[in-house]
Amino acid sequence: MHDEMGGAGGWPLLELGPGERVAGFTLEGKIATGSFGTVFKASRDGRSFAVKLVRLGPRGEREVDALRRAQFPNVVSFLGYSLWPDDEPRFLVLALELVEGRPLDVWVREENPSALELLHRVLLPLAGTLADVHAAGVVHRDVKEANIIMREADGQPVLVDFGAAAYEGARRLTMQLPPGTPEYRSPEALRFARQWEGEPYPFGPGDDLWALGVVLYWLLTRELPFGDRHGPGLVRVILEETPVPPQALNPRVPPALSALCLRMLEKAPEARYADAVALEEALTDAEALADESWRLPLFPGGKVAKRPEQAPALAPVVHARAVRRWWPWAAGLGTAVVVGLLLMVFGRRAPVAEAPALKVASATQRTESTTHTPPQQAVPRQEIASPQTTGDVGLGAAPEASPTPALVAGATTRSEEPAMKKSQTTRSLLAAGCLAGSACAGGPQQRPPPEPAECPPGADATRERFGISIGDTQPTIFPAFEKTRIAVIREGEVTVEMIGTWGRLPHRTRFRGQAIFGAGRVYGRFTQALLPDGGIVPICLEWVSTSGLGWEMEPGSTAKEARIWWDPRVRSTPKFR
């Protein structure tokens, strides 16, 4: 703790208490502290947040980048960040949503769900979330019960704490093994560590899926499959011993679910499920075998009495995959109206949520048990999210004349840091002042959005060939602007690079098309996919953001050059709208 949060050149975060101000936030209490940062409950302009203070450096920057790539409904939402203190910055201040909820291990003890409820409420949503996170090129690397919060508003599991996360192309910060929790390490990671020859561990989605298998085993048995770090030879047991089948420890576990869990914990990666999508399918197949025994509580005894506002209904999961695909871009109409107003005030995009405003998160005491209790976070932080807030968070300074872009929701180069201390509270209003004011007459804001247009011939065949459905979305980047986080582009031909894989489209596929200015936004229409092997195929993609079609122009945009965020998302469409 001394090295990260205090000591020479540091800042005594442990001394920060309720009522203190940090980057425009009023702290209300500490949520968690760990080796890489401290999370506080905070408020600002009548809104509640979780703010995480992380010492300046590559690890904090990587956490920001991982969070921004993993913008999905069951992942803690990232709203932006700033530097603090203003005069001599030492820390990143990450603004996260705040949600009331219980860690998964607490929830399962108190709720005592049936196997069917566990599958619907926890397993299918988590498998789908990991499928989306992995498709975005991100690996969490610390999946466990303490990093999964059961959100009271809708009963959904939320994956939190991306402090150990990494993504394709990220700078390696550790040489042997990344941060993590020993009980959840995969056999391949431990074998690599034993045979280490100086190269960094090639982490991948399989590490997250193995850890989810450990989580499932504990949920079914209240025992860790290989014991804990305090027992003898944890590494040897993970590498060599097969765990007792869950049904043998708990006869209430359905045979199909017991077998599925053991397959997730096979020693050889190829013997497990190929990816999170395959796991989703296996869970659905297991559900098809469900009989009345699946509806019995997994352990003797009942559930704790629920508060009146709790008790969300058991949501159907038949169309869960489709919902995850369109959710960030098509919230309910009522929510969209509110979000539109918030975006006018607070600025750039953040994932839109559909749940009501929540109460303040509070600590939950763990139930005592003689069985193995899942370890707390190796870096014990919980970025607990609330869906009530949207938009980026500025630094709270009064606006000045120069509309330089604020440091919000992304990293920046050192040359941009002075601009962060200016014009941050009314970032969107500054942009509107330039784009709609007389000083910018003749700018792109005076032109309407582009007219609808047909897709190029052959685009349908490309979608079928590469397994991409209409409405699917995928993150992309402007590689040349990766270090500045703001891309400065002109109208005309534009090329972006895909992040991760998309269906059967390989990593590093590029999309070529046209950038079109209009109504204070930049619209992108992409008609060619440039494959890594040199092939070119027709495609029909358009830029979309959580605030609608196209991407908002950032402050500093002009009639000739638009500044937009560096990783715009594309959506497959049957026709340019």
Q: What is the CATH number of the domain that holds 561?
A: 2.40.128
Task: Assign residue 423 a region (left: φ > 0; alpha: ψ between -120 and 50; beta: otherwise).
Answer: left
Residue with tokens 């209904």: 313
- Judgement on whether residues 193 and 305 belong to the same structural domain of the protein: yes
> How many angstroms separate the CA atoms of 36 and 359, rounded?
27
Q: What is the pLDDT of residue 372?
A: 52
> How many angstroms separate the CA atoms of 25 and 52, rounded?
11
At 152, is the secondary structure helix, strand, or coil? coil
In a domain, 25, yes or no: no
In a domain, 94, yes or no: no
- Judgement on whether residues 124 and 257 belong to the same structural domain of the protein: yes
Total domain count for the chain?
2
- Judgement on whether residues 286 and 178 belong to the same structural domain of the protein: yes
In a domain, 180, yes or no: yes
Q: What is the pLDDT of residue 487?
A: 81
> How many angstroms separate the CA atoms of 425 and 445, rounded?
22
In a domain, 86, yes or no: no
In a domain, 284, yes or no: yes
Task: Assign residue 435 a region (left: φ > 0; alpha: ψ between -120 and 50; beta: otherwise).
Answer: alpha
Q: 152 with 173: CB under 8 angstroms? A: no
At 333, is the secondary structure helix, strand, or coil? helix
Looking at residue 126, which CATH number applies to its domain? 1.10.510.10
Structure tokens at 227: 């014991």
Domain closes at, from 294, 328, 346: 346
For 512, what's the count of Cα atoms within 13 Å in the CB-facing half-sphere? 9
- H/E element, 524: strand 521-530
- Judgement on whether residues 321 and 454 belong to the same structural domain of the protein: no
> How many angstroms separate the CA atoms of 61 and 394, rounded?
18
In a domain, 230, yes or no: yes
pLDDT tens for the chain, 577 residues long, are 333 344 333 445 557 889 999 999 999 999 887 667 888 999 998 999 999 999 888 888 889 889 989 989 899 988 888 889 888 888 999 999 887 799 999 999 999 999 999 999 999 999 999 999 999 999 999 999 999 999 988 899 999 999 889 887 776 666 557 678 899 999 998 988 887 766 777 789 999 999 999 999 999 999 999 998 876 689 999 999 999 999 999 999 999 999 999 999 999 999 999 999 999 999 999 999 899 999 999 999 866 544 444 433 443 343 344 334 333 333 333 333 333 333 333 333 333 333 322 222 333 333 333 345 565 433 333 333 333 332 334 333 322 222 222 223 233 332 333 333 333 322 332 233 333 333 333 344 467 889 999 999 999 999 999 999 998 888 888 876 655 567 889 999 999 998 778 899 998 899 999 999 998 899 999 999 999 999 999 999 999 876 679 988 888 888 889 988 777 889 999 999 8
Q: Report the DSSP beta bridge partners of residue 528.
A: 512, 538
Integer Rg of the chain from CA: 24
For residue 15, give the DSSP letter: G
Per the structure, the complete domain to which residue 455 belongs is given by 441-576
Q: 439 with 428: CB under 8 angstroms? A: no
Instruction: Indicate if the alpha-carbon torsion angle 296, 297, 300, 305 is positive or negative.
Output: negative
- Judgement on whether residues 341 and 460 belong to the same structural domain of the protein: no
Domain closes at, from 320, 346, 372: 346
- Judgement on whether residues 174 and 323 belong to the same structural domain of the protein: yes
Domain closes at, from 292, 327, 346: 346
**Ramachandran angles phi, psi of 296, nearest 5°:** -85, 145
Q: What does pTM read for this prediction?
A: 0.58
